[in-house]
Each structure stands twice: as C-alpha cells, then as structure tokens.
Amino acid sequence: MASGSFQKHNVRDSYLSACAYKDGFLLSGDGGRLDFVNASGESTTVNTGTDRPLYAVCKCSDGAVAAGEDGTLIFVGGSGAVPVKTGITADLICACEFRGSIIVGGADGKIFAVTRGGDVKEVYSGPCSVTGVASNGERCIGVTSDGKAVISENADAWTEFPYGEYYGVAAEFDGIASIGAGFFAYGIENGNTFAVTTQLGGVWTKRDLNVYDYGRTVGIGEAPITCAASCGMQTVAGLSDGRALVMPECPKCNILRNISKHKIYAAASNGGSVIFAGDEYFYKTVDFDILRQQKIRLEKALEMADAGAVIIDVRDEYDYAMSRIEQSINIPLYGLEDALREFFPDKTSPIIFCCRSGAKSRAACSISKAMGYTEIYDLGGIAEITENGGNRK
C-alpha cells in the first residue's frame, strides 16, 4: 500500500516545484523561495517579496510564473519578480501556460486563466482540489484529488472526464506532466501508487511501475510519485524516498535510480539534464546519459525495428554469419564510427546495439554517445537468445 497522497501544501522547508528557465531551472518552495539554478549548477535567489509558500512554477513565453498560497501569483522576467493582483484567495498549487494565458489550479477546486495584466477568468469549478495542470500546446489537462481529469483545447471551454468512475477505481490524482506529445498523470488508486498516460484525455493507459530484474519483479514500494519530467524519449518519475523511476517505452525495461537521501518533490528537464529538488532545499542535476535507461529487451527491440529503428550487431563478420537476429545488420565494432557517419547521419534516429555477451554492445553505446547520437539502446548479448532458438537466422 502507498503511504498516502502527496500534498504540497503540507510540506515545509522544501523546494516544491521546478521548471526549465533560460539555460537552467527555476525552483520554487516554502517561504516564498524562488531560486535560479544555471547550467553549471550554481543557484541564485530571486527576490519574490513574499514569504508565502510558492507551490508551483512554470515556464511561459516571456519568462516564468510562480503560484502559491492565498492566490499568490508572481511573473518572473527581465525586470525581476513582479507580483500580480488577481483577486484569487485560494491556494494555487499548480500552473502552466496555454493559449497565451497562465492556467492555475486551486485547492478550492477551481481553474483560472490569468493574463499577464492580471485579468482573471474562472474556467472550471469542482468539489475537490485541482492538483495538477499541464499543456502540450494542443490541449491542456488538469487533474483533481477526487480522480477526475478536465480537458480544454482553447483555455475557455473545459470537459470533465470522471477517470475513477469510468474505470471503476478509487483514484486520487496528485499531479500531471506533459511528456512529449502526451501526458503522464500519477497518484493513488485503490490505496496504491499508480500512473497513467493519455494523448487526448478521453482514454487513459495504466503505466507499469514495476522493475523487472533478471526474472525478479521489484516494485517501487510505498513511496508515492511526487513529480515527473521527460528524459529524452523516456519518462522519469521522482519518488518521495529519493529515488527516480526511469520509464522507456518498453515497460519491461523500467529502472530505478538512486538520486538522493533527501525526499524528492520536484523535477524538470532542460537541454540534456533533469533537475530533482526537495526537502531542506536540496537540488541535484543529472545528465540524461546517466539517468536514462539504455537496456532494451528483445521484444521491444523487434517492435522498434518494425517501426524503423536499426539493430546493429557489432560482432565480427564470422560470428555474425554463424548466428544472428534476423532483423539486424552487421557492422563490426572496429568499423562502427566510419559506418555511423556514412550511413546514419541523423543522430536522433533510434539505434539498437547487440553482440554476443554484451561487452561490445556497451562499447558501441559509448562510442555512439560520444559522437552525439541521442537515441541509443543496448540489447546486450544475444548468445542465450539464439542458442535457445529465439529470433535468429
């Protein structure tokens, strides 16, 4: 069972939210704390003029916005931090930009669309807290503590989707993040931590949160998910116990990373790194290359190959001729760099490496990453697969 729904407004002396900003990140937190962390990891405090907790911070087209207790709303830009009088009195616990407005969700169950000049329009009202809002540019989705989602394509009209009722579960959403073209929402369902994904908001798919390690299934335990961010084409979810669950498209390839002994309450990505932040105002930036999961299972590799990915076997020609994965091509490790330059100039194309035992495929991943390739996967050793009559030729 999960230890309970994560509630930002019960947390003190901590960073509570994070967003990309300029070449680094903004972190907001208790006591009006707002810090800018640059690309080198150095932090500078922004004077917000308030000691009220800032529960949310989000990037916008001309800067950033922080939202917090008793309707506090602060625009951050070239002229520093400027408070905006909105007339909102409820705690604002989530925020994002959509269709030229700042969408904020309140503990009173309302969603507001706010302009830079302070014009406020109430666009949704429900009985329970709005715990998260996120936008992918095409639509905005909010989630609530009573297991509902609300969806808009124009920031004015909002449609309610009763997730818990529709799927027959007792659900509480704790937050939502925009990941790629879709959305990743998380919370507590029937007493356990859960996560779901959606593209449009009307159909939701449960995300496997288990880690499958050499035949063993390892769960995330009782730690709730408190935040989520993108890591290239993968999703990373921060856990309250200081770990991060990295989720590639292949659900059987999930991996847990130990980030800190501190509790994690916020995460955001920018460029090639993810920042994690939490209690006692700790923060840590981690490069994608360190964080992301490179290992991939055969089933997913074959699925990706059918969709256009290339599987490269880096063994010598003789070994490849004896036994191989049918969809693979052969480029021996000693000729890999030249072949990649000549035949695979697009460094964002997915490439999957394999060999006999896993040593050469790991070396191939290192070589290709050093050359700037970003979507690299390691199928590892195929000896057991081919010897046991698996996919081979």
Residue 213: pLDDT band (50, 70, 90) is: low
- For residue 218, the number of C-alpha atoms closer than 13 Å in the C-beta half-sphere is 12
CATH of domain 8-291: 2.130.10.10
Q: What is the pLDDT of residues 339-379, one digit of tens each?
A: 999 999 999 889 999 999 889 998 998 899 889 888 888 99
Cα–Cα nearest to 300, from 372, 360, 231, 380: 380
Q: What is the pLDDT of residues 270-320, one digit of tens each?
A: 988 999 999 999 999 998 878 888 888 888 889 889 989 999 999 999 999
The residues of the chain that CATH labels 3.40.250.10 are: 298-387
Residue 338 has a CB neighbour count (10 Å cut-off) of 10
Tokens of 339: 């072949």
| 298-387 CATH pick, 3.40.50.300, 3.40.1190.20, 3.40.250.10, 3.90.226.10 | 3.40.250.10
Q: What is the pLDDT of residues 70-88, one digit of tens each?
A: 999 999 988 789 999 889 9
- Contact, 383 vs 357, CB < 8 A? yes
CA 191 from centroid of its chain's CA atoms = 23
Q: Where are the alpha helices (DSSP H) in 150-230?
A: 163-167
Q: Which residue has the higher pLDDT, 160 or 181?
A: 160
Q: What is the pLDDT of residues 217-272, one digit of tens each?
A: 777 878 899 999 998 788 999 999 999 999 988 777 888 999 999 999 999 999 88
| pLDDT at position 218 | 77
Q: What is the pLDDT of residues 90-110, one digit of tens each?
A: 999 999 999 999 999 999 999
Distance CA 222, CA 4 (A): 8
| pLDDT at position 384 | 61
Cα–Cα nearest to 136, from 201, 194, 68, 64: 201
What is the value of pTM for the model shown? Answer: 0.83
The residues of the chain that CATH labels 2.130.10.10 are: 8-291
Distance CA 122, CA 86 (A): 11
Cα–Cα nearest to 235, from 274, 265, 202, 285: 274
Residue 388: pLDDT band (50, 70, 90) is: very low
Q: What is the pLDDT of residues 146-158, one digit of tens each?
A: 999 999 999 999 9
CA 88 from centroid of its chain's CA atoms = 30
